[in-house]
Amino acid sequence: MLDQSVPYVGFFMKRPAGTAFTPVKLADGFSFALYKPGNETDWARIETSVGEFESEFKAMLYFKHYFKSKNELERRCVFIEDENSKKVATATAWWHFVEQERRPWLHWVAVDPAYQGLGLGKAITSEVTRIMLDLEGDTDFYLHTQTWSHKATKIYKKFGYFITDEKILYNGNKENNYKKAIKILENLQRP
């Protein structure tokens, strides 16, 4: 869940090329599944459940607008399913163009709140990082997150991502508020 008790500040994290990768084992009773047509409803449900969207309808509109390449989704959008094949977590190995250069990005990591605390966030981050390494090679990876997701930043750090002060990472509408984010995150980690 997003922690809206802290100020919202968006920032970027970077996983540099050459960072060691150790996969995380998925908990018993769960399995990975790649996107298949129709899974956008599962994606919308999961992302709405963690507070990323006001409604599943708005999440579906975003999904259809943003993820136009269905062929790419079938190898880049990952779900975790429970033993009843219910999709309970998702993340995507996507990309952005930065000044004509295509760069890989970890996107939309989310675990249904009813399944949080089971290590699924670590497992899905691990699996998507593995997929990015397979598809993109050993290069710099990025992600955008926010202070509301401060618990997730701890997971990202385990996979070699760190908060970066790079200014222009992609030509989207996200700002990198590095200094503000660091200050808020440091205050959250104080005893």
Count CA atoms within 13 Å of residue 119 on its CB side. Answer: 12
pTM exceeds cut of 0.95: no
Sheet containing strand 162-164, strands side by side: 31-34, 77-81, 87-98, 101-111, 141-146, 10-15, 162-164
Confidence (pLDDT) at 132: 96
Contact 15, 147 (CB under 8 A): no
What's the pLDDT tens digit per position in 64-123?
Answer: 998 987 789 999 999 999 999 999 999 999 988 777 788 899 999 999 999 999 999 999
> Is residue 114 in a domain?
yes
* 127 within some domain: yes
Residue 31 lies in a domain: yes
* 1 inside domain: no
In Å, how far are 5, 74, 119 from 150, measured between CA atoms?
A: 11, 29, 16
Nearest Cα neighbor of 3 from 51, 53, 44, 43 is: 51
Between 70 and 17, where is the model more confident? 17
Does the residue 181 lie in any domain?
yes
CATH number of 31's domain: 3.40.630.30
Considering its fold, how many domains does the chain have in total?
A: 1
Higher pLDDT: 146 or 81? It is 81
Look at residue 4 and tell me if it is in a domain: no
Q: Are 90 and 108 in contact (CB under 8 A)?
A: yes
Which residue range forms the structural domain that includes residue 24? 10-189
For residue 5, being part of any structural domain is answered with no
**Secondary structure in 3-state letters for the chain:** CCCCCCCCCEEEEEECCCCCCCCCCCCCCCEEEECCCCCHHHHHHHHHHCCCCCCHHHHHHHHHHHCCCHHHHHHHEEEEECCCCCEEEEEEEEEEEECCEEEEEEEEEEECHHHCCCCHHHHHHHHHHHHHHHHHCCCCEEEEEEHHHHHHHHHHHHCCCEEECCCCCCCCCCCCCHHHHHHHHHHHHCC
168 pLDDT above the threshold of 60 = yes
42: in domain: yes
The confidence band for 171, taking pLDDT boundaries of 50, 70 and 90, is low
